Amino acid sequence: MKNIIKLAAAFVIIACLSGCLPDEQRNAAGAGKAGKVKMVLADGGKSLAPIIVVSNATPYTRRAVDELAEYIEKTSGAKPEVIEGLPDPVPEHAIWVGYQPKLKELFPKVDFDLKHPEEILIACDGKNLVIAGRDIWDPAGFMLRDKRGKPVEGKQQEYGTINAVYTFLQDYLGVRWLWPGELGEDIIKKDTIAFAPFEYRYHPKIRARSGLLHYSALPGGGYGTSRDWTRQQRLQLSSLEFSGGHAFADWWERFHKEHPDYFALQPDGKRSGFPDPRTVKMCHSNPEVAKQWLKEVEAELTNNPNQTIFSASPNDGWASGHCICETCRAWDHPDGEPRLFHWSGLSQEYVALSDRDVTFANRCAKLLKERYPDKDYYVLMMSYGHSRPAPIKARPDDNVIISCVANFFGRTDLVDRGSTKGVTYKQQYADWAKMVPKLMWRPNTGSPAGWQQGQPDVSITQTIEDFKFVASNKCIGIFIDGVWEHWATHGPQYYVMAQLTWNPDQDGRAILDDYYQRGFGKAAGDIKAYWKFLEETREEFVKGERPYPEVYNKAFFDKAYGFLDRAARAVEKEPEKYGKRVEFFRAGLDWTKLIVEARDLMAKFKKSDGEDKEAEKQVLANWAKMEELCKKHPYAINWGPCRPQTPRMAGLHPDHIKKEKKGKPQKKSAQDNI
Ligand SMILES: [Zn+2]
């Protein structure tokens, strides 16, 4: 509490600094004389530079300091002392974390005015090292409760310093977080840690990153098991958040009696709320709708002063119930792609609604700007359903972000099933990119080759290309629905996704070569070949030439286990961690085999109408092994979303069939939808 009071006194752009030093003081700092002298952080098991941080650091900056000290110790055997506040006298050498005014004196040539969102700065002059970044927070929103009532402490709008620390740990100290947990962490032990003078600056252009693994985003809850990892990969603490999807889900309930005019006019002349209260559509051209939307924004800001993005996207049920009033239709463009729409008792083609949705978003954006002229607030409009094609004439205003539900993640050539012209999702993204200031990419993954069931549905090559494609096409945020955190069957794919989200200019192949080398040493080649084989097999299945059991057959498993056996032999005499990591991937392959067998057994069980007791016994034995495997390797396969009761595993456990027999309809079977 004390800390928060202190912080409240300083609403804050920590990294933007004022207060020029007198010239003589500047010169006396002497950083320019550093030349090529190396700064030694630790040597021979001794720390030679303490860490200095301001005394009222935010919780995340303080956390970064502790982790920095911990990893310097893990690397060198020496834990640096942590000094809070400005010591007097200042030590000859120190690691300065976060900005404080003394730094301007110590580093007279370094510009501490960080102009870009989330900008980080790491610099060494041979005497001192600074690791800092743009930290911004609003005291009113520093301690919050989320929608579920969970406390969120230390909430910032930008978390530059902690992301700078993780960048330092990875790029300068050589730490790798290959996957969550101890086994995924790789440290190179060094007797000496020393740096010649350098200066490094960076700011990520993808500013909404926490949705990459959204189950491990803050404040947590649900299926996420990888929160530390996502923070260390600089995903979790990003500066833009996707807030909500469909904006009007509770409007029918709240307003339909007093304001029936808010809602879409149907062909029968009524504003009946078709198709249902949660997916009802609005009469977008009614000015009162946008005014009420702004009132909702005001209320959201009271609840969460950190929010900067406000959704104005239509409710789900994207083909149904859109307003046919004359004014709304005047917002549509006659050259829009024809799409099939539904109203009560009527289905017919009509033009795409992209022009209408953008016009509405712009109306909201103008109100938002008028109400909050000094704030950097945005309206979020989803390009989804019948607004997937880019608009013909309407153009989003600068404070409108288009969130493109373009489902080409892992399916680069997938055609939008609602398109009457056979346009791919990727083309739709590209079309929007030509005309908007900012895009977010929000693909649904589906489960092309068992992505949801923890099978190795890896599309590494394609994913690298697609991440680079979106990054070079206006992308400021990525949200993937969803990444299930199955590390033993998707490890390198998740890793390269995280790395490219932070910095998409990196070479994806080089990132992976480093991953294999650091993770597996002498087995790197076999492990790389293993993942290449998994990727090729998945591609073959997704192309649809052979059914799942024929692709993931005995020959597949023999070959896949062969790679892992060779890898295990290659590291037999190497440090234990390498062999353990091979076993971790083997757990993923074991899971895959158990699932493939379960599919086969369940097909028999279903065919027998639940009478084949032998098949039932065997499939239950497989489930027992699967549960055991998840207990032994908690990060290998995420048990939460893969428990037999979950909809993702429908059809893979006898209970689903038994319930069906009792007349309880089950969700679509995983057998039908891989
Ligand atoms: Zn209307």
Which range, 20-29, 164-173, 648-657, is most confident?
164-173
Kindly give the distance from the C-alpha atom of residue 252 to the centroid of ligand 1, in angstroms, as a whole number.
15
DSSP 8-state symbol, 136: E
Q: Which position has the token pair 């900056």?
A: 61
Give the CA dihedral 359, 364, 367, 373, nearest 10 degrees: -100
- Please give the span between the terminal C-alpha atoms of the chain, in angstroms, as a whole number: 50
d(CA 559, CA 530): 9
Kindly give the distance from the C-alpha atom of residue 314 to the centroid of ligand 1, in angstroms, as a whole number.
13
Q: What percent of the chain has pLDDT over 90?
A: 85
Determine the pLDDT at residue 244.
63
Determine the pLDDT at residue 31.
35
Kindly give the distance from the C-alpha atom of residue 322 to the centroid of ligand 1, in angstroms, as a whole number.
8
Kindly give the distance from the C-alpha atom of residue 398 to the centroid of ligand 1, in angstroms, as a whole number.
25
What pLDDT digit, counting tens, does each position of 380-413 carry? Answer: 999 999 999 999 999 999 999 999 999 999 999 9
Kindly give the distance from the C-alpha atom of residue 166 to the centroid of ligand 1, in angstroms, as a whole number.
50
Q: Which whole number is the average pLDDT over 50-77?
A: 97
Do the beta carbons of residue 440 and residue 401 sit within 8 Å?
A: yes
What pLDDT digit, counting tens, does each position of 73-90 carry? Answer: 999 999 999 999 999 999
3-state secondary structure of 300: helix
Kindly give the distance from the C-alpha atom of residue 434 to the centroid of ligand 1, in angstroms, as a whole number.
28
Kindly give the distance from the C-alpha atom of residue 73 to the centroid of ligand 1, in angstroms, as a whole number.
64
Kindly give the distance from the C-alpha atom of residue 280 to the centroid of ligand 1, in angstroms, as a whole number.
13
Kindly give the distance from the C-alpha atom of residue 326 to the centroid of ligand 1, in angstroms, as a whole number.
7
Q: Which whole number is the average pLDDT over 447-466?
A: 97
Kindly give the distance from the C-alpha atom of residue 262 to the centroid of ligand 1, in angstroms, as a whole number.
8
Do the beta carbons of residue 64 and residue 97 sit within 8 Å?
A: yes
Kindly give the distance from the C-alpha atom of residue 328 to the centroid of ligand 1, in angstroms, as a whole number.
4
Give the CA dihedral 487, 483, 168, 527, nearest 10 degrees: 30
Determine the pLDDT at residue 485.
98
Kindly give the distance from the C-alpha atom of residue 319 to the centroid of ligand 1, in angstroms, as a whole number.
16
Kindly give the distance from the C-alpha atom of residue 323 to the centroid of ligand 1, in angstroms, as a whole number.
5
Do the beta carbons of residue 626 and residue 612 sit within 8 Å?
A: no
Determine the pLDDT at residue 663.
75
Kindly give the distance from the C-alpha atom of residue 407 to the centroid of ligand 1, in angstroms, as a whole number.
29
CA atoms within 13 A on the CB side of 623: 19
Kindly give the distance from the C-alpha atom of residue 633 to the centroid of ligand 1, in angstroms, as a whole number.
55
Kindly give the distance from the C-alpha atom of residue 209 to the centroid of ligand 1, in angstroms, as a whole number.
35
Kindly give the distance from the C-alpha atom of residue 418 to the centroid of ligand 1, in angstroms, as a whole number.
23
Kindly give the distance from the C-alpha atom of residue 382 to the centroid of ligand 1, in angstroms, as a whole number.
19
Do the beta carbons of residue 630 and residue 587 sit within 8 Å?
A: no
Residue 397: which of 367, 358, 446, 368 has the closest Cα? Answer: 358
Determine the pLDDT at residue 152.
76
Kindly give the distance from the C-alpha atom of residue 289 to the centroid of ligand 1, in angstroms, as a whole number.
10
Kindly give the distance from the C-alpha atom of residue 253 to the centroid of ligand 1, in angstroms, as a whole number.
19
Kindly give the distance from the C-alpha atom of residue 309 to the centroid of ligand 1, in angstroms, as a whole number.
25
What pLDDT digit, counting tens, does each position of 103-129 carry? Answer: 999 999 999 999 999 999 999 999 999
DSSP 8-state symbol, 348: E
Confidence at 270, pLDDT banded by 50, 70, 90:
very high
Kindly give the distance from the C-alpha atom of residue 284 to the centroid of ligand 1, in angstroms, as a whole number.
6
Residue 8: which of 126, 127, 140, 119 has the closest Cα? Answer: 140
Going by their DSSP bridges, the two strands 39-43 and 192-195 should be labelled as antiparallel
Q: Which position has the token pair 């920095």?
A: 68
Kindly give the distance from the C-alpha atom of residue 427 to the centroid of ligand 1, in angstroms, as a whole number.
29
Determine the pLDDT at residue 142.
84
Confidence at 657, pLDDT banded by 50, 70, 90:
confident
Kindly give the distance from the C-alpha atom of residue 282 to the centroid of ligand 1, in angstroms, as a whole number.
7
Q: Specify which residues 319 forms β-bridges with.
A: none
Is the pLDDT confidence value at 423 over 80? yes
Kindly give the distance from the C-alpha atom of residue 287 to the centroid of ligand 1, in angstroms, as a whole number.
10
d(CA 310, CA 364): 10
What pLDDT digit, counting tens, does each position of 543-600 carry? Answer: 987 889 999 999 999 999 999 999 999 999 999 999 999 999 999 999 999 999 999 9
Which tokens sit at 420? 């009457």
Kindly give the distance from the C-alpha atom of residue 340 to the centroid of ligand 1, in angstroms, as a whole number.
18
d(CA 582, CA 15): 44
Which tokens sit at 542? 């997704």
Kindly give the distance from the C-alpha atom of residue 369 to the centroid of ligand 1, in angstroms, as a whole number.
24
Determine the pLDDT at residue 184.
98
Kindly give the distance from the C-alpha atom of residue 371 to the centroid of ligand 1, in angstroms, as a whole number.
25
Kindly give the distance from the C-alpha atom of residue 359 to the centroid of ligand 1, in angstroms, as a whole number.
13
Q: Strand 135-137's sheet: what is its strand order?
A: 12-13, 135-137, 158-159
d(CA 379, CA 570): 54
Determine the pLDDT at residue 243.
66
Kindly give the distance from the C-alpha atom of residue 117 to the centroid of ligand 1, in angstroms, as a whole number.
39
Kindly give the distance from the C-alpha atom of residue 285 to the centroid of ligand 1, in angstroms, as a whole number.
5
Kindly give the distance from the C-alpha atom of residue 257 to the centroid of ligand 1, in angstroms, as a whole number.
17
Confidence at 660, pLDDT banded by 50, 70, 90:
confident
Kindly give the distance from the C-alpha atom of residue 345 to the centroid of ligand 1, in angstroms, as a whole number.
19
Which tokens sit at 111? 């510009």
Kindly give the distance from the C-alpha atom of residue 193 to the centroid of ligand 1, in angstroms, as a whole number.
66
H or E element, residue 338: strand 338-343
Kindly give the distance from the C-alpha atom of residue 329 to the centroid of ligand 1, in angstroms, as a whole number.
7
Determine the pLDDT at residue 668.
60
Kindly give the distance from the C-alpha atom of residue 281 to the centroid of ligand 1, in angstroms, as a whole number.
9
CA separation (Å) from 120 to 37, 104, 106, 166, 224?
A: 24, 16, 18, 11, 27
What pLDDT digit, counting tens, does each position of 316-373 carry? Answer: 999 999 999 999 999 999 999 999 999 999 999 999 999 999 999 999 999 999 999 9
Report the phi/psi class of residue 611: left, alpha or beta, with left for phi > 0 and alpha for psi in -120 to 50.
Answer: alpha
Kindly give the distance from the C-alpha atom of residue 80 to the centroid of ligand 1, in angstroms, as a whole number.
65
Do the beta carbons of residue 145 and residue 313 sit within 8 Å?
A: no
pTM assigned to the model: 0.93
Kindly give the distance from the C-alpha atom of residue 383 to the centroid of ligand 1, in angstroms, as a whole number.
19
Kindly give the distance from the C-alpha atom of residue 381 to the centroid of ligand 1, in angstroms, as a whole number.
18
3-state secondary structure of 51: strand
482 cis-preceded (ω within 30 degrees of 0): yes
Kindly give the distance from the C-alpha atom of residue 270 to the centroid of ligand 1, in angstroms, as a whole number.
11
Confidence at 144, pLDDT banded by 50, 70, 90:
confident
Kindly give the distance from the C-alpha atom of residue 327 to the centroid of ligand 1, in angstroms, as a whole number.
6
Q: Which whole number is the average pLDDT over 620-629?
A: 98
- Three-state SS sequence of 458-484: CCHHHHHHHHHHHHCCCEEEEECECCC
CA separation (Å) from 527 to 379, 581, 586?
A: 45, 10, 11
φ and ψ at 347, to 5 degrees? Answer: -125, 130
Is the pLDDT confidence value at 25 over 60? no
Q: Which whole number is the average pLDDT over 656-673?
A: 66
